[in-house]
Structure 1
Amino acid sequence: MVLIMRRLLLALALLMVAVPTLASIPADLHALFADWRRFHDARPASGVPDYTDAANAARAEGLKRFQARLAAIDTSGWSTADQVDWQLVQAEMNGLKFDLEVARPWARDPAWYVSLWAAQSDTPAHEGPAHIAPVELWQYHFPLTKADAAELAGELAHIPALLAQARGNLTGNAADLWNASLVPLGEQADALRELQARVKGHKAAEQATAAALAATLDFIAWVKTEAPTKTGPSGVGIEAYNWYLKHVQLSPYTWSDEVAILSRELARAHAGLRLEENHHKALPPLTSPANQTEWDARSLAAINHFIAFMAKTGVATIQHYMHPELATRIGKWVPPEQQNFFAIAQGRAPNSLFAHFYHWWDLAEMHDRPHPSPIRRGPLLYNIWVSRAEGNATAMEAMMLDAGLFDHNPREREVVWIMQAQRAARGLAALYATANQIDLKTAMAMQVARTPNGWISPDLPLLGFEQSLYLRQPGYGPSYITGKAQIEQLFAELAEQERAGLPGDRFTVKGFYDRLGSFGLIPVSLIRQQWLGLKPGEPIISVRAE
């Protein structure tokens, strides 16, 4: 009997060795992703986000456990799309790792503690860092219902306690971040002042708004008092930036690559502009609307032209949301002395800006046709979507220039070149600031000097907003141009695939834009990987007999 049992046990052991363990399935990744997001966004029972040292130590330990779970998932045999999803989850975890070990916004940047967001971003989530409890004021409809007023009061309640906590957390020495934070903090105070009048009659909301405003003003006073003691650099440095590009943004570039790309694009944009100006010098100069009526009329005419142009030339399939999304983003006319860069551009060539508003079509697409993967259905954390969102919007400006959108009024072509130059100039300045080779003030001066025709005012708020945002969020400033470069590369590779007789659908411009949105708002590098069926970073090598 003992011998029989030994033989049975041996046979069972051999069977267990011979039968491989079942590979993981995408559902395992989806379950992990749901757990990960719950962990990432969790708040204490008090409702007040916790960024104390103890809380961050707990985050670091939790992150290690999630990274181990992710690494244990066997992706062999998975489709390229599912493998891309795995990389997206890994990138989000790397984003938290970078924040915990390098960026540490809760310790270095008082603007991290801004809670009130009065306007919707045109990107999937907030541009730049934001803590886990933002109050999205733009989502409320006024006058408030009783239920909405109670909800808003509850959302505002965390602000005084969070700002009190911030004084103990903010131990960093990042001078530029510290000083620049006074602008967004001041904007929160202004928004709360305006909100006071809008919540009249709702006692709890009135009290919560008053408490939040008092705490914000007190915090601003404290930041001003501490500002002179801050003397250190604010950029993360080149080494950390390169790690961030590779492991969080999933970019194929390094800091040096980005400097080269943006320098080239800046020179190209300046040259293109001057050649256009020379070619059109006999034509009358562009003018800007003199009032709101003219502004509205010119903007709506441009939108009509844009949609008709795409339909006629077959650039993309016209969707029901395209015209309305642009028509609701016309904005307000302001006198010339108050016009920032984008108001100047829109007044003279509205479609130079509306082409960039592909952003709003992206958001409408997310709403109308949610991605089947839960990982891609909503905004990715840590601005991981930036190369696709900002890169494609910027590429759209240049591609519509080449496609002929502006040919009916040739001088409008000049504005597109100015737009491209401005994006390259501000991104290049941001790169040097990130590397701590220049400070924020110098980065702003560089952007002013290298934007053509004096269109960037050194005195209007836009300049400081842009450069301080790019200092807070590494990679954001350059992403307009580096993402554009990746979109153009993908466009070219898909066309070359057909020319070389490789497998794949026949390339058309409409086909490109129609399919681009189907991958979700994910890094262009991963869209390329899935669309072309490649391994991460793999080049296309086509050999064609002549």
Structure 2
Amino acid sequence: MINPISIIFRLGFIFILAFLLAVPAHAGPPSGRGSYDDLQTLFSEIIQWSPYSGASTEPDFRSAAIEARRAELAEFQAALADMNVAAWPRERQVDWLAVRAHLDKQDFILHVTRPWARDPAFFVLELIEPTFVELPASGADLDALRTHLRSVPRLLAQARETLTEAAADHADLALFLLDNSDGVENGYPDRAVAPQGAIGWHRDLLERAGAQPQLRADIEAAIAALEGYRDWLAAERPRMTAEAGVGEQMLDWYIANVMMMPYSSAEVVSLAQRELDRLWGFYAMERHRNRGLPELMLPGSAVEYEARIAETDASIRDWLVENDFITIPEHIPENWREMGFNVPFVTRDTPPNFWEQVQYRAPSPDHFHAVIPGHRFDDRLTRRLENPIRANLRFDGRWQGWAVYLEEGPLQAGYFDDRGRERELIYIFGIWRAARSLGDVWNQRNEMNAEETVDYWMSATPMLDRAVARKYARLRPAPGHGLEYTMGNLQMWKLLGDRRRQLGDDFDLRRFHDSFMQRGQLPISLIRWEMTGLDDEVSRLWDREPLPGRE
């Protein structure tokens, strides 16, 4: 007699086996013809390939140039796919995946975001910085200025031809930036009264051109072109109604394949909301804990502010060494002025912006993040890497993830133990990062427009001002800039925990940080695989789906 339980068991086993056979296994690395030397040669060609315009010395965003650009990209992608990656050691496979992600980003820009067709501000933002040149100019500076001035009329004439799908948010931002200061102006030259927008900065250049009158005609022509572009945008604004975001499907593809993060946009929302809630709770507790301490005050002068920076720099360097947090190589400048800092002392009619409100009160949060051992330290180490791929690639999830980790990381390691009010600023920074992640996703999925995103950020973040919020509500040529801070930070903490579990009592924090920094600014998922051997975040990358619509 047949046992019915046995039949059920066998049928269940057959069903499970059929299911497993129907689910494709992850493809492995490609087994083509190219060597690792071929990868390095190909990469050297890729980095000579300018971001949007091929080999042209002047940007060209018209249809023929873009199609040529797409064809060049396809050739790079085909050459990359024909390499014997399966035979390479892990660290070289990591390099290959990083180069592929770099090309995928260019693919995304060329086929999805297409800023020359969708973003009127794309043609404005790059026109301000060339006007910062000191006059009289000579040599290469003079040549670059002339090239810039003479390209402005041609570039803005192109814009009228190529902006066929302009987004409403981008058009409004472009109109604002042509005639208005963004209110943040990081890295801009000091002026008693800030020039107003791209047009204002070109007028500022014209006022300074008395020392080089031969430039006046080119400057006047550039101003006329900018004013004409503004008037054209204002007239065309009613037809510029497209959505600014890329949509959920495209955003998910970008996060997975370009940023190489192991999250969907829905998971980013869940994780960022959890971080926002946690950090607001910690901020509330910290404010209660410090209720008897005096508030941190804004400095009264540039001299007082710079003294705060000097003290902070010395204190942080000493702490990093004494606490075996990270190695400071001999090539890192000892002078804080040579290393630089993010926020200069500015006097204006309006109150200090968000970054100034934090940095002026206590430079430590941003000094860890942006100076040492953050961005400036990070870049100096990366530029000295012998591997040309890693010395020339930057993935912002790694770049910003490391820098945000350096805010709460030193807090947990003890630097802020006797700096209660400064701990509050660490939590405010973290709140802003988490809120930005949420707003970035909602904006990219077209669930919030730019103004609604700004309103949300203002409601979620202490000290935030509208100028800073508006600046970050703008989409870059590719998405993800808002979410990379918090998500990269979470990846850093995961890597730290993974490595501690693996090594047990042999784990050493300084060696961990030094090892991490030696691997460049590649996606943290790739660095994690290289450092730990854990491939759960990487195995899916070998058979990644092509960009939707590009099968």
C-alpha displacement of 1:507: 2.5
Instruction: Say which SS state the counterpart of residue 411 (structure 1) adopts.
Output: helix
Deviation for aligned residue 1:276: 0.8
Q: CA deviation at 1:51?
A: 1.2
Aligned-residue offset at 1:141:
6.0
Within 2, Cα distance between the matches of 1:94 and 1:23? 21
Deviation at 1:420, TM superposition (A): 0.5
1:378 corresponds to which letter in structure 2? N
Q: TM-score, normalised by structure 1?
A: 0.83
The alignment status of 1:85 with 2:95, answered yes or no, reads yes
* AA partner of residue 482 (structure 2): G
Task: Give the count of matched residue pairs.
Answer: 486
Whole-angstrom CA distance in 1 between matches of 2:403 and 2:80:
32
Alpha-carbon distance between aligned partners in 2 of 1:236 and 1:23, rounded to the nearest angstrom: 36
Aligned to 2:498: 493
Q: What pairs with 1:283-322 in structure 2 (closer than 5 Å)?
A: 283-319=293-329, 320-321=332-333
1:179 and 2:193 aligned? no
| 1:353-502 → structure 2 map (5 Å cutoff) | 353-357=366-370, 358-367=374-383, 369=384, 371-380=385-394, 385-452=395-462, 455-458=463-466, 461-469=467-475, 473-499=478-504
Residue of 141, 146, 154 corresponding to 2:147: 154
Q: CA deviation at 1:161?
A: 0.7
The residue that corresponds to 2:19 in the other structure is none
Q: Are the aligned partners of 1:150 and 1:205 in contact in 2 as well (CA < 8 Å)?
A: no
Q: CA deviation at 1:329?
A: 4.2
Q: Secondary structure at the match of 1:476?
A: coil
Q: 1:34 to 1:298 in 2, by over 3 A?
A: closer
Per-residue deviation at 1:487? 0.9
Please say if 1:349 is aligned against 2:342.
no
Provide the aligned C-alpha RMSD in A.
2.5
Moved more, 145-154 or 428-437: 145-154
Equivalent in the alignment of 1:13: none
Kindly indicate whether residue 67 of structure 2 is the aligned counterpart of residue 57 of structure 1: yes
Match of 2:524 in 1: 524
Query: Which secondary structure state, in structure 2, belongs to the residue aligned with residue 338 of structure 1?
Result: coil
Displacement of 1:392 in angstroms is 1.0
1:34 to 44, 53, 56: 44
Corresponding residue SS for 1:76: helix
Letter in 1 for 2:392: G
Residues 85/238 of structure 1: CA separation in 2 closer, same or farther (3 Å cut): same
- In the alignment, the residues of structure 2 paired with residue 144 and residue 372 of structure 1 have an alpha-carbon distance, to the nearest angstrom, of 36
Q: Please state how far the C-alpha of 1:72 moved relative to its aligned partner.
A: 1.0
One-letter amino acid of the structure 1 residue matched with residue 514 of structure 2: D
Q: Distance in 1 between matches of 2:349 and 2:122?
A: 33
**What is the CA-CA distance between 1:81 and the residue it aligns to?**
1.9
User: How is 1:199-214 mapped onto 2 (pairs within 5 angstroms)?
Assistant: 199-202=209-212, 205-214=215-224
Pairwise CA distance, 1:228: 2.5
**What aligned pairs does 1:201-350 form with structure 2 within 5 A after superposition?**
201-202=211-212, 205-319=215-329, 320-321=332-333, 323-329=336-342, 331-334=344-347, 337-350=350-363
Counterpart secondary structure, 1:110: coil
Give the corresponding residue for 1:513. 513
Q: Pick closer, same or farther for the CA change 1:44–1:492 going to 2, 3 Å.
A: closer
The offset of 1:533, in angstroms, is 3.2
Runs of 5+ unmatched residues, structure 2? 1-30, 180-196, 540-551
CA deviation after TM superposition for structure 1 residue 457, in Å = 2.0
Distance 2:470 2:484 in 1: 18
Return closer, same or farther for 1:496/1:324 CA change in 2, 3 Å cut-off.
farther
Q: Which runs of 5+ in 1 are unaligned?
A: 1-20, 120-134, 540-546
From 157, 165, 189, the equivalent of 1:164 is 157
> CA, structure 1 residues 190+81, in 2 after alignment: closer, same or farther (shift >3 Å)?
farther
Task: Tell me, in whole angstroms, the C-alpha distance in 2 between the residues paired with 1:249 and 1:196.
Answer: 42
Q: How much has 1:351 moved relative to structure 2?
A: 0.4
- Deviation at 1:41? 4.9
Distance in structure 1 (CA, Å) of the matches to 2:146 and 2:509:
49
Q: Can you list the C-alpha shifts for 1:383-404, whole angstroms capped at 9, x where unaligned?
A: xx11111111111111011122
Q: TM-score, normalised by structure 2?
A: 0.82
Between 170-179 and 143-152, the greater mean CA deviation after superposition: 143-152
* Shift of residue 327, structure 1, vs aligned partner: 4.8
Q: Which amino acid aligns with 1:365?
A: L
Q: What's the CA shift for 1:115?
A: 6.2
Q: State how far apart, in whole Å, the 1-side matches of 2:456 and 2:320 are.
A: 36
Q: CA separation of 1:156/1:517 partners in 2, compared to 1, >3 Å: closer, same or farther?
A: farther
CA gap of 1:213–1:246, structure 2 versus 1, over 3 A, is: same
Q: Identical aligned pairs, as a percentage?
A: 30
Bigger Cα displacement from structure 2, 79-88 vs 477-486: 79-88
What amino acid does structure 1 have at the position aligned with 2:388?
P
**CA gap 1:457/1:46 in 2 versus in 1, 3 angstroms:** closer
The structural deviation recorded for 1:33 is 1.8
Amino acid at match of 1:491: L
Query: In the TM superposition, what is the alpha-carbon distance from 1:520 to its structure 2 partner?
Result: 1.3
Equivalent residues of 1:456, 1:463 under 8 A apart: yes
- Deviation of 1:343 (Å): 0.8
After TM superposition, give the deviation of residue 216 of structure 1 in Å: 1.8
| AA of the residue aligned to 1:489 | K
CA distance in 1 between counterparts of 2:456 and 2:169 reads 16
